[in-house]
């Protein structure tokens, strides 16, 4: 009886062999990208993880790289795509994680002819993130936000792009949810409000030179804390989707902000926002 039962159990397994998994085009692109970059990774003795749509390489221990992948990269990706972004990445993103400034600076120059203007990290237009994670993982989530918004909102205005990236520099992630928290940019923003140096929201949002040296630091802070205020009112997701979906009629998002401020005027909305900002504390 034992042999008969064993045969009965084996036959269905043979007859019902699962069909081969359909080819994943993003995974295939990731494998080609890894093959292209493997000689450089080997020359620097980097550990590598293939985790489509990402190829992740770093000079830390393998377990460190796995923690960056699981606790930060994949966790933030899932939360951002669940709460904000409709379209997923259809092109691979290469994420280079260095544990100190020396390889970050050296390989930015050697591999890309880049001289980083930040000690933390940056996202290149060709889909490559170069990070000094020795400074923490906040910038990793910031730059990851830029990578994820690219297919969802290709024409995102600079202030919204950087506002969202900056919002998640300090955040909490819980499954489908990601929440920005007060961070170091608050001090300069409060000082500017206190000293009458902060431009009105309308000027920041409509500024075609968001990255201009005169205002760039405050622009980041102003955009970040505007979005944090919308998050606090449970309006951030709706605001983002409206700006994205009506970009043709409202390229800066200013008209959408006015609509969401109603029945208050934007001037009243801004007064309330500034009062709220001045009541925040960090740390």
The CATH code of the domain that includes 74 is: 3.40.30.160
Residue 195 belongs to some domain of the structure: yes
DSSP 8-state assignment for residue 123: E
Q: Are residues 58 and 138 located together in one domain of the fold? A: yes
pTM greater than 0.95: no
Domain interval for residue 146: 25-152
Residue 3 belongs to some domain of the structure: no
Q: Which of 181, 176, 103 is nearest to 138 (CA)?
A: 181
Residue 173 belongs to some domain of the structure: no
Q: Are residues 188 and 258 located together in one domain of the fold? A: yes
Work out how many domains the chain is built from and give that number. Answer: 2
Tell me the per-residue pLDDT of 36-86, one tens digit each, with 9 for 90 and over: 999 999 999 999 999 999 999 999 999 999 999 999 999 999 999 999 999
Q: Are residues 138 and 53 located together in one domain of the fold? A: yes
Residue 104 belongs to some domain of the structure: yes
User: The tokens of 7 are what?
Assistant: 């045969």
The DSSP element (H or E) to which 173 belongs, if any, is: strand 171-174
Residue 17 belongs to some domain of the structure: no
Residue 2 belongs to some domain of the structure: no
Residue 162 belongs to some domain of the structure: no
Q: Are residues 41 and 104 located together in one domain of the fold? A: yes
Quickly state the pLDDT bin for 14 (edges 50, 70, 90).
Answer: very low
Q: Are residues 124 and 198 located together in one domain of the fold? A: no
Tell me the per-residue pLDDT of 226-280, one tens digit each, with 9 for 90 and over: 999 999 999 999 999 999 999 999 999 999 999 999 999 999 999 999 999 999 9
Q: Are residues 115 and 227 located together in one domain of the fold? A: no
Residue 66 belongs to some domain of the structure: yes
- Phi/psi at 50 (5° precision): -95, 115
Q: Are residues 197 and 94 located together in one domain of the fold? A: no
**Low-confidence winner among 9-13, 14-18, 191-195, 252-256 (lowest mean pLDDT):** 9-13
Q: Are residues 134 and 231 located together in one domain of the fold? A: no
Q: Are residues 108 and 197 located together in one domain of the fold? A: no
Q: Are residues 198 and 272 located together in one domain of the fold? A: yes
Alpha helices in 126-265 (DSSP H): 138-152, 158-167, 185-194, 201-206, 216-232, 236-245, 254-261
Q: Which of 260, 93, 47 is nearest to 273 (CA)?
A: 260
Q: Are residues 113 and 182 located together in one domain of the fold? A: no
């Amino acid at each position: 009886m034992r042999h008969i039962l064993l045969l009965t159990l084996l036959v269905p397994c043979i007859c019902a062999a699962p069909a081969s998994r359909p080819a994943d085009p993003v995974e295939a692109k990731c494998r080609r990208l890894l093959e292209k970059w493997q000689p450089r990774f080997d020359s620097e003795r980097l550990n590598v993880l293939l985790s489509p749509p990402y190829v992740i390489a770093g000079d830390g221990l393998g377990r460190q790289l796995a923690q960056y992948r699981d606790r930060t990269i994949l966790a933030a990706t899932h939360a951002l795509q669940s709460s904000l972004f409709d379209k997923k990445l259809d092109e691979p993103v290469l994420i280079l994680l260095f544990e100190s400034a020396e390889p970050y600076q050296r390989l930015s120059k050697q591999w890309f002819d880049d001289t980083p203007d930040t000690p933390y990290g940056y996202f290149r237009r060709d889909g490559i993130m170069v990070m000094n994670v020795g400074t923490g993982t906040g910038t990793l989530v910031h730059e990851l936000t830029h990578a994820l918004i690219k297919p969802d909102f290709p024409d995102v205005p600079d202030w919204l792009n950087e506002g969202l990236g900056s919002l998640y520099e300090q955040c909490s992630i819980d499954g489908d949810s990601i929440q920005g928290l007060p961070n170091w940019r608050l001090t300069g923003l409060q000082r500017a409000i206190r000293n009458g140096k902060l431009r009105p929201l309308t000027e920041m949002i409509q500024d075609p030179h968001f990255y201009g040296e005169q205002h760039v630091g405050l622009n980041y802070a102003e955009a970040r804390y505007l979005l944090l205020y919308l998050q606090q009112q449970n309006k951030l997701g709706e605001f983002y989707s409206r700006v994205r979906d009506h970009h043709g009629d409202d390229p800066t998002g200013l008209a959408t902000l006015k609509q969401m401020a109603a029945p208050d005027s934007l001037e009243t909305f801004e007064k309330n926002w500034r009062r709220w900002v001045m009541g925040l504390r960090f740390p």
